[in-house]
Amino acid sequence: MNLKFVPLLLVAVILWQCDSSTEPHSIATSGEVTVPSGNQDQHAVGFSFTKGAIISYPNSSDIIPDLFVQVHQGESGDIKGVFFSSDTLVPTFALLAKPSTRESAHAQFDTLYILPDSLEYIALALPIERHQIWAFHTRRNTYAKLLILATTAYIDSTNGNTPYGEATLAWEYQPDGTRQFDERAFN
């Protein structure tokens, strides 16, 4: 092989790799995530449905998380649990169901194919508890459904007695603006 062609071959391979990496990536529309409360490095931390991930804000993309986990404290500072908030006090949460068992919660979540159009949304999801199913209406006029799998809240003595909490949830997001999560909704 002629050594003059090696650099050309390398350039061709690099360009091919760059071109193939610019293909559109599919958007994650469901999963499980544990969302922590609080801040990291002076940035608020929350969950973004459009990214399908935990993100901090502010960020270089100027994407605001849709959902934040907050610690719910009583008047005397006692920890009562965690709750969800958004970046505004616009009503975005609607409690759909409070099944008593893990099995019934998963069954109801999995067969929730369309969100009712008559939901009354509230500004804060308070309190959130294991097995609850919530609807979420984003500022972009899209919808998500959430199943609370676990919550944790405590005073973090290793961080200056700061309240800390987190919520683990299963989520499904509908980015097209409909309230439909499955084609069976219209059958």
Residue 98 lies in a domain: yes
Residue 182 lies in a domain: yes
Instruction: Answer whether residue 7 shows pLDDT above 90.
Output: no
Q: Where are the alpha helices (DSSP H) in the chain?
A: 5-21, 102-110
176 phi, psi to nearest 5 deg: -90, 0
Q: How confident is the model at residue 42 (pLDDT cuts 50, 70, 90)?
A: confident
Q: Do 138 and 92 contact (CB within 8 A), yes or no? A: yes
Residue 116 lies in a domain: yes
Q: What is the domain extent for residue 101?
A: 25-186
State the average pLDDT over residues 48-72.
94
**Mean per-residue pLDDT of the chain:** 86
Q: How far apart are CA 127 and CA 93, in angstroms?
A: 11
Round the CA-based radius of gyration of the chain to a whole number and report it: 21
Tokens (6 digits) for 124: 């804060």
Residue 86 lies in a domain: yes
Q: How confident is the model at residue 8 (pLDDT cuts 50, 70, 90)?
A: very low
Q: Do 33 and 149 contact (CB within 8 A), yes or no? A: no
Residue 114 lies in a domain: yes
Number of domains composing the chain: 1
Residue 37 lies in a domain: yes
- pLDDT at residue 184, as a whole number: 57
Residue 85 lies in a domain: yes
User: What's the pTM value of the predicted model, to 2 decimals?
Assistant: 0.83
